[in-house]
Structure 1
Amino acid sequence: MNTNLNSIGLDKNLAQQLAGGLNELLASYQIFYQNLRGFHWNIRGEKFFELHLKFEELYNDAILKIDEVAERILTLGNTPLHSYSDYIKTSFIAEAKNLSDAKSTLDTTLNNFQTLLIKQRELLKVAQEAGDEGSVTLLSDYISQQEKTVWMLSAYLNK
């Protein structure tokens, strides 16, 4: 048995590096999720009905990704972050407070997606270097899906 490999046959050092990046992604998703919940609860104005539903759709998707990322960290042999204090310190996404209009909530959501996409592309390179097909597939799927969502939200805003 090769002692430089973890239980799924990946280089321990590369798996550790990848798990660290995935923990940053996990923290960012947690803040993204909470931002979306706040937008869902607090949206006001003529676009209320459609955006209330859209934000619910987006936060339901985010919560699934949170679980998948945490489980991937565990699969790599590491511990996922699991406290809000760690999420706040580690996230690349900032908390969004007191936003209730369509433009500011959607602009913030688009900026958050951009942040997630950049981070996921960085992690994809690390996963490819590690030969970690599980993480590659996960990240590739997220990127593809989110690029389409960004396109649709941008079209909605006429950007």
Structure 2
Amino acid sequence: MKINKLGLSIVESEAIIEKLNILLSNFQIHYQNLRGLHWNIRGKRFFDLHVKFEELYNDSQLKIDLLAERVLTLGGRPMHTFAEYLENNSLKIGKNISKDTEAIQLIIDGLTELLKIERVILHLASENDDEGTNAMMSDFIKEQEKTIWMLHAWMEE
């Protein structure tokens, strides 16, 4: 078995890199959805949601950077074109959403889809003793599960 400079199997790391790039692509779409919601939200909850959406897109931007750096750490090359992002995306693309409940539902749906991808990566990383990727996915999952819970609580009126 050939190993990389981290002591991980090259073949197994390539599979993880592929999945990380898919997650990176989906996070880029999630980020852009959040930017659009931030810009277009209207109504009585504008002030609260405008700030919340900015908080969420800033967090997504940090995660995007972490994902790209993890791909590089494992010896891969992060996807970085809009064509690649769209080709590898499984999230709904939000367009012209200005209603509060539609905006929150788009975020819930996006985070739920991201969780599915992250759990696949978590399992793969765990099987291959890739603790760096494993820890990252665990952190992402924990935060996103809490955010989903809070957004569902917000939707209950």
How far apart, in 1, do the equivalents of 2:3 and 2:70 lie?
16
1:132 to 114, 130, 133: 130
Alignment-derived partner of residue 17 in structure 2: 19
The answer to whether the Cα contact below 8 Å between 2:92 and 2:106 also exists between their aligned partners in 1 is no
The answer for unaligned runs of 5 or more in structure 1 is none
Q: Distance in 2 between matches of 1:114 and 1:90?
A: 16
The residue that corresponds to 1:37 in the other structure is 35
Three-state SS of the structure 1 residue aligned to 2:55 is: helix
For 1:10, the equivalent position in structure 2 comes to: 8
Match of 1:75 in 2: 73
Q: State how many pairs are aligned.
A: 157
Letter in 1 for 2:155: L
Moved over 4 A (4+): none
Q: Does 1:56 align with 2:54?
A: yes
Report the RMSD for the aligned CA atoms in angstroms: 1.0
Q: Which runs of 5+ in 2 are unaligned?
A: none
Which deviates more from structure 2 when the two are superposed, residues 97-106 or residues 87-96?
A: 87-96
Alignment match of 1:88 (pick from 65, 86, 89): 86
Q: Is the 8 A contact 1:27 1:91 kept in 2?
A: yes
For 1:93 and 1:74, how far apart are their aligned partners in 2?
A: 24
Q: Deviations over 1:29-50 (max 9, x none)?
A: 0000000000000000011000
- Contact kept, 8 Å, 1:24 with 1:92, in 2: the verdict is no
Any conservation in 2 of the 1:70–1:80 contact (CA below 8 Å)?
yes
